[in-house]
A and B are shown apart, each in its own frame.
Chain A
Amino acid sequence: MSETLAGAAIECRDVTVRFSSDRGSVTALENVSLTLMEGGFLTLLGPSGCGKSTLLRVIADIVQPVAGAVSVLGQPPAGARRDRQIGFVFQDAALLPWRNALDNVRLPLEVGGRRGLPAGSPGPEALLDLVGLSGWEKALPHELSGGMRQRVAIARALLGGPRILLMDEPFGALDEITRDRLNEELLRIWRDTGTTIVFVTHSIYEAAFLGQHVLMLAARPGRVRELVPVDLPEPRHLSVRETPRFVALAAHLRAVLETC
């Protein structure tokens, strides 16, 4: 992936999204622009209802903007989706309850006219191992804890080696200890795979700990409030959260969030 490191993975120009229902129309996003370089890790932070999920869905070609331009790896989102360049992790894991962990990870191979894995790309077993679940291949979703289910969802999203990983509050429903552990592991996976990641959260600490940049959104209508660069020593460990630099950053994010 190093040869395209200079390129932009995701570019949004003045993206506006409106939802119309019986009760009128909601402007979920208004003139949102962002550029994310390949290999980057961007966190989206903002109050609930500010359009974070909508922005991810626009990039993944689930929602169509009414105005603006979106480019993913140099092509429209639909093209990137069809090329399997996008992996998506949902808040509730969205595992199929009748499939065991391994078969859930394998799902992308069975749909979308997909043949085998690209050469050299890790298989389902290797990915379960990567997310720390070797030995749990045969377990059904209801036999796994919430954290383990999210690990399976991450492994599934990584299958086929997508260059972009979109994560919508993936750890939002987890306890803090599990969340901390998964945060650290996600950074390891990001470093190991070189995948570009956009990560939605409403936790200030998660946003600051994970992202190289934090994009702050304001609500009603959803718009960009501030792009905050994160300057922390790499590789990051949880202990970085006690450093003065991190504390100051979190205080800044909190101050901005109060005005969103």
Chain B
Amino acid sequence: MSVTIASASPRDAGPAAGDDLDAAWHATQRRLRLRRRIMPLAGGAGLLFIWWALIAVFHVRPFIAPSPEVVAVTVYQKFGILMANLLPTAIEAVCGFLLGNLTAIVIATAFVHRKTLEEAFFPIAVLINSIPVVAKAPILILLLGNGLAPKIAIAAIVCFFPTLVNMVRGLEAVSPQAMELMHVLSASKREIFVKLRLPTSVPYLFSALKIAASTSVVGAIVGEWIGSQEGIGALIIQATYNFDSALLYATVLCGSCFSVLFFLTIRLIERVAVSWQPDTGH
């Protein structure tokens, strides 16, 4: 017989002799946490310096690549233009994110309730999901044309597939014993969905939403590349045509910052929604 002694909870753990050890352990943990914060900053500063040094040493001309301080100045001087162009991109990305994910959740629910639907369409969804965003976007632009709505649609479709795939997997990741428990309790299909499947799927949903937060921005930007007058994507094309490398870099920086903020917002919501999960250590 295999005997695994059930781990004693910290509450049960031992006498006062452990307190010093505990304090030392906590201090180490604090130092490690601080290091984890500081090291990326140091790394970033190092890379910025290398960037600056390369431009200076090799006399790279401004229309090929700008030096970091020029980009910083551009961000400051053209802040109004950048924000004016970020707004439509942000609206497209967020609306597309909501629309695409909501549709995915609804269709995943339908799949789980009607197995035939899932059998017919889920493999195709998995296939489409494996096509990269940059390959899908031009096809969609041809299909949908210009204006704000098509960009929302592109961002939505780009979010849709990963969420659909993950949501279906999450709704079906229910343990067989939990299903048997629900059967013994004579739970209805609806109760099983609400009390068991939906909560089980939440962590799966959020790992898809975190991906979708970035890809929806990519979708909106790629959508703006063709025949758009405003937006981060349009500004990128304009700056490239004008050999205005400083504006190009500033625009990309601006789009990335929004993307990161969007991602962090979703992660914050995730922390609250799945607070019941044990810490996975990162």
Contact = CB atoms under 8 A, between A and B. Distances in A.
B278 interface: yes
Nearest to B191: A111
Contacts of A176: 1, 3
B77 interface: no
Contacts of A178: 6
A108 B7 contact: no
Contacts of A174: 6
Interface of B: 1, 3-9, 175, 177-178, 180-188, 191-192, 195-196, 199, 202, 274, 276-278
Q: Could you tell me the dominant secondary structure of chain B's interface residues? A: loop
Given A107-B185, A112-B187, A143-B9, 20 more contacts: A60-B184, A81-B184, A81-B186, A84-B186, A88-B181, A88-B184, A90-B181, A94-B178, A96-B195, A97-B277, A98-B202, A98-B276, A99-B276, A111-B192, A112-B185, A113-B186, A144-B9, A145-B8, A146-B6, A175-B6
Interface of A: 57, 60-62, 81-82, 84, 86-88, 90-92, 94, 96-99, 107-108, 110-114, 140, 142-147, 173-178, 203
Contacts of B274: 98
Contacts of A60: 180, 184
A94 B5 contact: no
Contact of A86 (B182, B184, B187): B184
Contacts of A90: 177, 180-181
Contacts of A147: 6
B131 to A, nearest CB: 32
B184 A96 contact: no
Contacts of B180: 57, 60, 62, 88, 90, 94
Given A111-B185, A112-B191, A113-B188, A96 B178 contact: yes
B91 to A, nearest CB: 34
B13 to A, nearest CB: 12
Contacts of A110: 191, 195
A2 to B, nearest CB: 26
B181 A94 contact: yes
A108 B184 CA distance: 10
Contact of A203 (B1, B181, B191): B1
Given A96-B196, A145-B9, A176-B3, A82 B177 contact: no
Contacts of B1: 176, 203
Contacts of A114: 185
A111 B195 contact: yes
Contacts of B187: 111-112
Nearest to A149: B6
